[in-house]
């Protein structure tokens, strides 16, 4: 019997205990007992599944460091990053949408950052088609696709939509970088303040349109609707009123960003409980607690609490099939040995019993038939 290197069958141990005897039909000729007596246990051949392409997802709430971790993993595993933030696919608003900068990319190729007209509605179907094209282009050059972003509803439709088409082609692992919300929220507020320093108001003013629809395209981004009231009154209001409106807009941006982080965390928790979602949580809270200190302290904490554990998760994911193959071969060899030993033992017992019956003659001859008992291995 030829065994292939995979199986989910239960294999029995080689040394199966003796449990009794079973009577078998009469033997008409001695030659018939030279044929192997069938084993009482049937071991199916190992069937190798079709090999799937490996894809890594980096999940997390806004501000938890998804882009940073994706770049860490891409540098470690010769990968490229595919953006899965449905707002960052649009051209413009680099500050408001928190797009990675050229320096932050560290030479790692990124896909689906910009390129879509700001006024076009980028649907889940558009997202799915664009992501698949991007990851296939990454796989074509022998690199690892790392999909990172916060649009979890789009990610779910990508993975589980179209009757499982994506899952039939790709093997996925989901690395969830998480931060306790009481720690994350103050960081989000600080990040908004930094965005203001980097030109948030000017960037939003450039996109402001009194007739604009904040339910479509890039105008859905947090940071634009909140600034609308300020821009509508900027020309006519006095300085005190403008300052108050501006502070109110910033507070609203912070509040809406924190609410988004809560919703994203809830969605990821839900996804982690679904069948087929291999979600591995990595806790970045300790690293974020170092944010107020020296940068070197944050980087050190990030390395040991986020980067290194995530590298271990991805390494295990990429090599699990090799381990499975090796285990499958060991199981196949053990099964083959057990089958051979079982067959040989059955033949020997049958031959011995037949020989004894032939020598004894007597009662068997008087009864007009040859009857024998053989040793049975396994359940009676």
Beta strands in the chain (DSSP E): 18-24, 53-59, 79-83, 110-111, 144-148, 170-178, 279-283, 372-377
Residue 203 has pLDDT above 90, yes or no: yes
pLDDT of residue 363: 46
The arrangement of strands across the sheet holding 110-111 comes to 110-111, 79-83, 144-148, 53-59, 170-178, 279-283
pLDDT class for 100, splitting at 50, 70, 90? Answer: very high
Least confident among 178-187, 252-261, 345-354:
345-354
pLDDT digits (tens, 9 = 90+) for 208-251: 999 989 999 999 999 999 999 999 999 999 999 999 999 999 99
Bridge partner residues of 174 (DSSP): 57, 279
pLDDT class for 321, splitting at 50, 70, 90? Answer: low
Residue 175 has pLDDT above 90, yes or no: yes
pLDDT of residue 312: 97
Residue 132 to residues 112, 119, 190, Cα–Cα distance (Å): 11, 23, 35
Counting Cα atoms < 13 Å in the Cβ hemisphere of 240 gives: 0
pLDDT of residue 200: 97
Task: Supply the pTM of this predicted model.
Answer: 0.72
CA dihedral 40, 46, 47, 53 (to 10 degrees): 150
Answer yes or no: are the C-beta atoms of 335 and 3 closer than 8 Å. Answer: yes
pLDDT of residue 308: 97
Q: Which has the higher per-residue pLDDT, 78 or 372?
A: 78
Architecture in CATH for domain 53-289: 3-Layer(aba) Sandwich (3.40)
pLDDT class for 20, splitting at 50, 70, 90? Answer: very low
pLDDT of residue 51: 81
Average pLDDT over residues 191-195: 96
pLDDT of residue 260: 97
- DSSP class of residue 217 equals G
Q: Which has the higher per-residue pLDDT, 15 or 154?
A: 154
pLDDT digits (tens, 9 = 90+) for 129-169: 999 999 999 999 999 999 999 999 999 999 999 888 999 99
pLDDT of residue 339: 57
pLDDT of residue 335: 53
Answer yes or no: are the C-beta atoms of 69 and 59 closer than 8 Å. Answer: no
Residue 229 to residues 94, 215, 241, 345, Cα–Cα distance (Å): 22, 16, 11, 89
Boundaries of every domain in the chain: 18-44+325-377, 53-289
Contacts made by residues 224-231, CB under 8 angstroms, sequence distance 24+: 224/93, 224/96, 226/252, 226/253, 226/256, 227/201, 231/204, 231/205
Residue 299 has pLDDT above 80, yes or no: yes
What is the C-alpha to C-alpha distance for residues 309 and 318, in angstroms, rounded to an integer? 14
What is the C-alpha to C-alpha distance for residues 151 and 83, in angstroms, rounded to an integer? 10
pLDDT of residue 341: 54
Q: What is the mean pLDDT of the chain?
A: 81
What is the C-alpha to C-alpha distance for residues 168 and 171, in angstroms, rounded to an integer? 8
Among residues of the chain, what percentage have pLDDT more than 90?
Answer: 67
Could you tell me which of 190, 189, 144 has the C-alpha nearest to residue 170?
144
Could you tell me which of 124, 18, 103, 100 has the C-alpha nearest to residue 377?
18
pLDDT of residue 346: 56
For residue 193, report the phi and psi dihedrals to the nearest 5 degrees: -60, -40
How long, in residues, is the chain? 380
pLDDT class for 11, splitting at 50, 70, 90? Answer: very low
For residue 54, report the phi and psi dihedrals to the nearest 5 degrees: -85, 135
pLDDT digits (tens, 9 = 90+) for 333-356: 555 555 555 555 555 555 555 555
- DSSP class of residue 106 equals T
Bridge-based pairing of strands 372-377 and 18-24 is antiparallel
pLDDT of residue 65: 95
Among residues of the chain, what percentage have pLDDT more than 70?
Answer: 71
Residue 307 has pLDDT above 50, yes or no: yes
- Using alpha carbons only, how large is the chain's radius of gyration in Å? 33
SS3 96: coil
């Amino acid at each position: 019997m030829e065994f292939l290197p995979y199986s989910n069958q239960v294999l029995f141990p080689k040394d199966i205990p003796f449990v009794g005897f079973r009577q078998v039909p009469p033997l008409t000729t001695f030659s018939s007992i030279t044929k192997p007596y069938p084993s009482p246990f049937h071991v199916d051949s190992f069937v190798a599944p079709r090999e799937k392409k490996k894809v890594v997802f980096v999940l997390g709430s806004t501000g938890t460091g998804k882009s940073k971790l994706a770049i860490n993993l891409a540098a470690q595993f010769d990968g490229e990053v595919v953006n899965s933030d449905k707002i960052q696919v649009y051209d413009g608003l680099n500050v408001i949408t928190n797009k990675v900068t050229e320096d932050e990319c560290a030479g790692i190729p990124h896909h689906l950052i910009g390129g879509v007209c700001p006024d076009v509605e980028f649907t889940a179907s558009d997202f799915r088609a664009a992501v698949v094209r991007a990851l296939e282009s990454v796989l074509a050059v022998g690199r690892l696709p790392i999909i990172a972003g916060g649009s979890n509803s789009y990610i779910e439709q990508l993975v589980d939509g179209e009757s499982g088409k994506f899952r039939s082609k790709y093997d996925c692992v989901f690395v969830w970088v998480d931060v306790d919300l009481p720690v994350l929220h103050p960081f989000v507020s600080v990040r908004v303040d930094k965005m203001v320093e980097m030109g948030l108001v000017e960037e939003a003013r450039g996109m402001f349109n009194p007739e604009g629809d904040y339910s479509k395209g890039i105008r859905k981004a947090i940071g634009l609707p909140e600034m609308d009231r300020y821009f509508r009154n900027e020309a006519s209001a006095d300085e005190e009123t403008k300052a108050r409106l501006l502070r109110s807009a910033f507070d609203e941006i912070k509040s809406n960003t924190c609410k988004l982080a809560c919703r994203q965390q809830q969605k990821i928790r839900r996804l982690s409980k679904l069948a087929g979602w291999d979600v591995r949580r990595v806790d970045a809270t300790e690293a974020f607690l170092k944010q107020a200190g020296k940068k070197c302290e944050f980087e050190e904490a990030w390395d040991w609490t986020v980067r290194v554990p995530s590298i271990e998760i991805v390494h295990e994911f990429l090599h699990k099939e090799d381990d499975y193959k090796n285990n499958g071969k060991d199981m196949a060899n053990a099964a083959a040995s057990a089958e051979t030993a079982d067959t040989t033992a059955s033949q020997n017992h049958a031959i011995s019993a037949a020989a004894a019956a032939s020598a004894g003659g007597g009662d068997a001859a008087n009864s007009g038939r040859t009857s024998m008992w053989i040793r049975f291995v396994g359940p009676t």
